[in-house]
Amino acid sequence: MFPELITDRFILKQILPADQAFIFKGLSDPKVIPFYGVRYDSFEATKNQMEFYDDLWRNKTGCWWKIVSKTTDEPVGACGMNAYQPEHEKAEIGYWLLPDHWKLGIMPEVIPVMIAHLFSHWKLHRLEAVIEAGNEASCRLSEKLGFTYEGTLREAEIKDGKHISLMIYSLLAA
């Protein structure tokens, strides 16, 4: 059974096929996608992302939640874990918010609850946050959450025809 996680203001719920419009809204938003690893130009293409979320949970290689406001019952963003490597006891986390919900303290509230769940319910020793260089808000969040900056993979990927660098942060189990 997919776990629901609860904070003071939010409930983290499983992303379901009915959430495709919300996922498309977030992963096509020009303010969200500049530093995010995937983006979609059409609702139909977003089906790939929905299959990604479903495959993660079905294959036990990760899990992603939609972040739902308790007061409005509307989703405001998503967070989760993927790239789970049980043999190395590590995984990668990711997250995004719709721009109307930026700078409201949402991620500092929900990510620690997600992290606590991941460390207690998955065989994890290490969580990684891979952040595109220039995403200062995500770097600040990682540091606020206790992640350690380990270094930068210079020009490690190509995005929009340009080489981009990736900053690596990690959090070890206590």
Residue 18 is part of a domain; what is its CATH number?
A: 3.40.630.30
The pLDDT value recorded for residue 142 is 97
| Model pTM score | 0.95
What integer pLDDT is reported at residue 65 of this predicted model?
98
Query: What b/e readout covers 32-51, taking b as 16+ CB neighbours within 10 angstroms?
Result: beebbeebbeeeeebeebbe
155 within some domain:
no
The sheet with strand 148-159 has its strands ordered as 5-6, 10-14, 63-69, 75-85, 90-97, 126-132, 162-172, 148-159
Alpha-carbon distances, residue 22 vs 2, 31, 34, 63 (angstroms):
19, 15, 18, 17
The answer to whether position 65 is within a domain reads yes
Other beta carbons within 10 angstroms of residue 30's beta carbon come to: 8
Can you give the pLDDT at residue 174?
86
Torsions phi, psi for 101 (to 5 deg): -110, 10
Which pLDDT score is estimated for 84?
Answer: 98
Query: Has residue 59 been placed in a domain?
Result: yes
Is residue 10 a part of any domain in this protein?
yes
Residue at 90 is within a domain = yes
pLDDT tens, the chain, 174 aa long:
999 999 999 999 999 999 999 999 999 999 999 999 899 999 999 999 999 999 999 999 999 999 999 999 999 999 999 999 999 999 999 999 999 999 999 999 999 999 999 999 999 999 999 999 999 999 999 999 999 999 999 999 999 999 999 999 999 998
Q: Helix 20-27 to helix 47-58 angle, to the nearest 10 degrees? A: 110
**How many residues appear in the chain?**
174
- For residues 10 and 70, the answer to whether their CB atoms sit within 8 Å is yes
Q: What sign results for the dihedral spanned by CA atoms 38, 59, 95, 127?
A: negative
- Residue 162 lies inside a defined structural domain of this protein: no
Other CB atoms within 10 A of residue 13 CB: 17
- Domain presence at residue 169: no
Domain range holding 88?
5-128
Domain count, the chain: 1
Q: Quick check: is 116 in a domain?
A: yes
